[in-house]
């Protein structure tokens, strides 16, 4: 895990960077999204670090305690104690440490009834991560952000407290990601699913992002990763593959078609727009973008193999209401019931 988590920020200006965890407990139905971010403006103004926490109760956003919380810290409070074997960062009460086989995640955001605190042990099941974007494309300025998933699947056990409610997790399933860049994509879709029905080894991770160059919105680049079994993994992430996938997305839906030699992958992702939380992000230069995130998406993947002149369905994977899914845009969609703006951040 640690290599893909390696910190990009080395004191330079005009950069954002974030590490995040998403996890869902099959037993209780609760899901969570935890995030540590740093934000360094290009103009010499002080940077900051933020700690984010989101809860997604069973039954949707209208049931239980659906919270979206953000605490802001001076950048100097962000600490990185990583070494060659262990990735280890700290911000306020939060700590994320992970090595080659196990780790921990703990922290707290908010206060009183509007507080989320977590104390988790992480057991890694899938050590091989996925790099969505080649560092070469980022260094050349073709990609404005770089994304990786160091932990495609892990198991989490421990306690999460939402207000006064305590949720005990036993082998909750999750993923861990890392993103950095000079500028967020103008529009993007992202999905992660590791709970396909009848296919416990299957994992899917995908992104489709559009960026502006010279005022033009470029076609989507769509790196994809599908693990069918421990020894069988398919990826569409090479520079010659990123722009060949047909991708169409909007808030609540994403459909794509990707080809690879004698294989053809067709996928659909869907969720009710009302079940997303709309989160304000800002680029280092101050531009606003809005990330809409849910932990209750449906995913259907159909993998076809070429048979003579046509295609034959080789595998169908289905997940209902258990996938992490987000859609980002430069404009805020009014449909999500939950919102979190940066102005709501609690100074810590």
Q: What is the pLDDT of residues 242-269, one digit of tens each?
A: 899 999 999 999 999 999 989 999 999 9
Chain mean pLDDT for the chain: 93
The answer, yes or no, to whether residue 131 has pLDDT greater than 90, is yes
* Cα-based distances in Å from 27 to 157, 168, 169, 338: 12, 10, 8, 25
Residue 89 pLDDT: 97
Q: What is the pLDDT of residues 23-78, one digit of tens each?
A: 999 999 999 999 999 999 998 889 999 999 999 999 876 666 899 999 999 999 99
Confidence of residue 126 (pLDDT cuts 50, 70, 90): low
The answer, yes or no, to whether residue 1 has pLDDT greater than 50, is no
Residue 143 pLDDT: 83
The answer, yes or no, to whether residue 213 has pLDDT greater than 70, is yes
Q: What is the pLDDT of residues 146-177, one digit of tens each?
A: 999 999 999 999 999 999 999 999 999 999 99
The pTM of this model reads 0.95
* Cα-based distances in Å from 119 to 30, 157, 160, 162, 191: 15, 9, 6, 12, 25
Residue 206 pLDDT: 97
Q: What is the pLDDT of residues 4-15, one digit of tens each?
A: 999 999 999 999
Cα 10 to Cα 56: distance, rounded to the nearest angstrom:
34
154 has which bridge partners?
124, 174
Dihedral angle computed from the Cα positions of residues 116, 117, 122 and 127, in that order, rounded to the nearest 10 degrees: 50
Across 191-207, average pLDDT: 96
Residue 2 pLDDT: 55
Between 318 and 171, name the one with better pLDDT. Answer: 318
Which of 160, 203, 190 has the alpha carbon at shortest distance from 64? 160
Residue 64 pLDDT: 66
Residue 62 pLDDT: 61
The answer, yes or no, to whether residue 125 has pLDDT greater than 70, is no
Residue 325 in contact with residue 190, Cβ under 8 Å?
Answer: yes
Cα 166 to Cα 91: distance, rounded to the nearest angstrom:
23
Residue 325 pLDDT: 98
Between 52 and 238, name the one with better pLDDT. Answer: 52
């Amino acid at each position: 895990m640690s290599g893909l988590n390696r910190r990009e920020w080395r004191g330079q200006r005009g950069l954002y960077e974030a590490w995040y965890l998403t996890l869902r407990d099959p037993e209780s139905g609760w899901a969570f999204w935890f995030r540590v971010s740093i934000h360094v403006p290009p103009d010499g103004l002080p940077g900051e670090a933020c700690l984010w926490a989101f809860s997604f109760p069973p039954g949707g956003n209208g049931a239980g305690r659906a919270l979206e919380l953000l605490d802001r810290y001076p950048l100097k409070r962000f600490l990185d104690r990583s070494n060659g074997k262990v990735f280890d960062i700290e911000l306020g009460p939060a700590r994320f440490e992970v090595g080659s086989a196990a780790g921990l995640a703990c922290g707290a955001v908010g206060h009183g009834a509007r507080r989320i605190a977590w104390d988790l042990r992480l057991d890694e099941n899938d050590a091989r991560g996925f790099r969505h974007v080649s560092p070469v494309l980022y260094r050349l300025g073709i990609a404005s952000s770089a994304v990786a998933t160091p932990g495609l699947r892990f198991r989490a056990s421990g306690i999460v407290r939402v207000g006064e409610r305590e949720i005990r997790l036993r082998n909750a399933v999750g993923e861990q990601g890392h993103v950095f860049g000079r500028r967020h994509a103008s529009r993007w879709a992202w999905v992660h699913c590791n709970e396909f029905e009848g296919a416990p080894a299957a994992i899917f991770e995908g992104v489709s992002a559009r960026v502006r160059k010279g005022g033009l919105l470029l076609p989507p680049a769509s790196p994809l990763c599908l693990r069918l079994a421990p020894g069988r993994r398919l990826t569409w992430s090479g520079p010659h593959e990123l722009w060949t996938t047909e991708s169409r997305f909007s808030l609540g839906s994403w459909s794509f078609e990707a080809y690879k030699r004698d294989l053809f992958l067709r996928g659909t992702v869907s969720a009710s727009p009302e079940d997303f939380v709309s989160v304000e992000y800002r680029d280092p230069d101050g531009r606003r973008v809005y990330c809409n995130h849910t932990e209750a998406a449906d995913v259907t993947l159909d993998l076809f193999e070429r048979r003579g002149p046509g295609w034959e369905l080789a595998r169908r994977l289905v997940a209902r209401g258990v996938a992490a899914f987000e859609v980002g845009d430069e404009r805020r969609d009014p449909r999500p019931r939950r919102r979190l703006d940066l102005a709501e951040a609690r100074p810590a």
